[in-house]
Amino acid sequence: MVQKLQAQQGTSPIHVIGAGIAGSWQALLLAKAGHAVMLHERSDAAMAQGTSRWAGGMLAPYCEREGSEPLITRLGVRSLDLWRRHHPSTPFNGSLVIAHPRDRADYERFARLTSHHRRLDADGVMRVEPSLDGRFREALFFPDEGHVEPRRVLPALHAGIRAAGGTVKFNSEARRGDLDGTVIDCRGIAARDVCPDLRGVKGEEITIETDEIELSRPVRLLHPRWPLYIIPRENHRFMIGATSIESEDSGVTVRSALELLSAAYTVHPAFGEARIIEIGSGLRPALPDNLPRIVIDGRTITVNGLYRHGFLLAPALAELTLNFITSGTIDNEVMQCA
Ligand SMILES: Cc1cc2nc3c(=O)[nH]c(=O)nc-3n(C[C@H](O)[C@H](O)[C@H](O)COP(=O)(O)OP(=O)(O)OC[C@H]3O[C@@H](n4cnc5c(N)ncnc54)[C@H](O)[C@@H]3O)c2cc1C
């Protein structure tokens, strides 16, 4: 018989460990559903010790279909609804995919492997992103995709948890064995003590600033060696990302910086005059199959392996956990009972 965890209202709260994107969504949906929730985060509110602060924040289930399993699209599409419902200010301006003429084969392959896109000609590109006028003869436009700015959205989610009656505790390093009641472990790469097959996949990124270009949505450049995306941030900033390297070194190499900046320059030469604001990297927490997993072990639930899709998947994973806690429902593709 499927195990069911009852709400702990009035007794011990549900403890969520880790206030990255996974833990924040878990705590938000539980608090909104009326559960007493305490979210523990070892960092201060700047969240310097997590991966989430480095993310692009793209909510792109259709583009991601090019290189990931159908499960990512299924959960991602569900997450778009949850972002809309619980964080209505999320921009859904779509995504634009471009390629240089010599990479047309890659472009056609991407179009074949993905869905929910419209083909734009040069005029269409100009209408959607006027700053790219004359630079690309065609593009794929994915109108239903969104993006968030991690360093703004995480505090907003934490505020939402508090508004729903939950507690967010920073500078609170928690150990699952020390907590009473239901515990949801969302420690990302720090959870290797319980997920020995977890690995970090390094993603390097560079944030630049220029007021010579405006973009309204993430732009992905398909490139055989240097695929990249450029994501508009507030105040004329752009995040250029991201490498994907099987390494847990936290530095950014000269080669990666050169490649990211060179590829951005080929999208628009004005990026060559931009100021560099930040260079950094984060470790994507990944399981061997690069898919997310929710493991239920008595009253402890581990949510991990969000890999390169944390912002895309966190809402749907939180909904699955909530459904399990309230009604014992199991999603066989994502959940395992230990
Ligand atoms: C460069 C880059 C770009 C990316 N772009 C995207 C993107 O565009 N879209 C997308 O969907 N995903 C993207 N990702 C992936 C995404 O960032 C990750 O999947 C996601 O951040 C993982 O979130 P998490 O909450 O599991 O882990 P984390 O963000 O690492 O959160 C875990 C938290 O747990 C805390 N913690 C650990 N141990 C304890 C403890 N004992 N007590 C209390 N707190 C603890 C840590 O301090 C940390 O804050 C990107 C990743 C990188 C690196």
* Mean pLDDT split into 10-residue runs, the chain, 338 residues: 45 93 98 98 95 98 96 98 98 97 95 98 97 96 98 98 98 95 97 96 98 97 92 97 94 96 95 97 97 97 98 98 96 94
pLDDT score for 1: 33
Rounded Cα distance between 153 and 144, Å, is 19
CA of 229 to the centre of ligand 1 (A): 19
> So what's the pLDDT on residue 5?
53
Nearest CA to ligand 1 atom 52: 55
CB 132 within 8 A of CB 97: no
Q: Which residue in 276, 266, 306, 301 sits closest to 289, CA to CA?
A: 306
Size of the chain, expressed as the number of residues it contains: 338
Q: What is the per-residue pLDDT for 250?
A: 87
Residues within a 6 A CB radius of ligand 1: 17-23, 40-43, 47, 49-52, 54-58, 173-174, 186-190, 203, 205, 241-242, 282, 284-285, 306-312
- Exposure of 312 in the CB half-sphere (CA atoms within 13 A): 26
Between the CA of 124 and the centroid of ligand 1 the distance, in Å, is 36
DSSP 5: P
Residue 260, classed as helix, strand or coil, is: helix
For residue 8, the tally of other CB atoms under 10 A from its CB is 18
Q: 104: which 2 tokens?
A: 């047309």
Count Cβ atoms below 10 Å from residue 66 Cβ, excluding itself: 18
Choose one of 147, 306, 312, 313 to mutate for the ligand 1 pocket test, by most ligand atoms within 8 angstroms of C-beta: 306
Distance of CA 187 from the midpoint of ligand 1 (Å): 8
Q: For residue 126, count CB atoms less than 10 angstroms from its CB and return exposed for 0-12, middle for 13-18, buried for 19 or more.
A: middle
**Amino acid at site 267:** V
Q: Which of 52, 151, 176, 179 to mutate to test the pocket of ligand 1 (most atoms within 8 A of CB)?
A: 52
Pocket-testing residue among 308, 317, 321, ligand 1, by greatest number of atoms within 8 A of Cβ: 308
What is Dmax (Cα atoms) for the chain? 63
Distance CA 297, CA 4 (A): 12
Which stretch of DSSP H or E encloses residue 294?
strand 293-297
Q: How many CB atoms lie within 10 A of CB 229?
A: 25
Name the amino acid, one letter, at 293: R
CA nearest ligand 1 atom 46, residue:
50
* CA 189 to centroid of ligand 1, rounded, Å: 8
Which tokens is 152 given? 């703004």
Helix or strand or coil: residue 103? helix
Is 288 in contact with 197 (CB distance < 8 Å)?
A: yes
Strand spans (E) along 36-154: 37-40, 58-59, 95-99, 118-121, 138-142, 146-147
Is 147:231 a contact under the CB 8 Å cutoff?
Answer: yes
pTM: 0.96
Q: What is the best residue among 28, 38, 42 to mutate for testing ligand 1's pocket, by most ligand atoms within 8 Å of CB? A: 42
CA of 45 to the centre of ligand 1 (A): 14
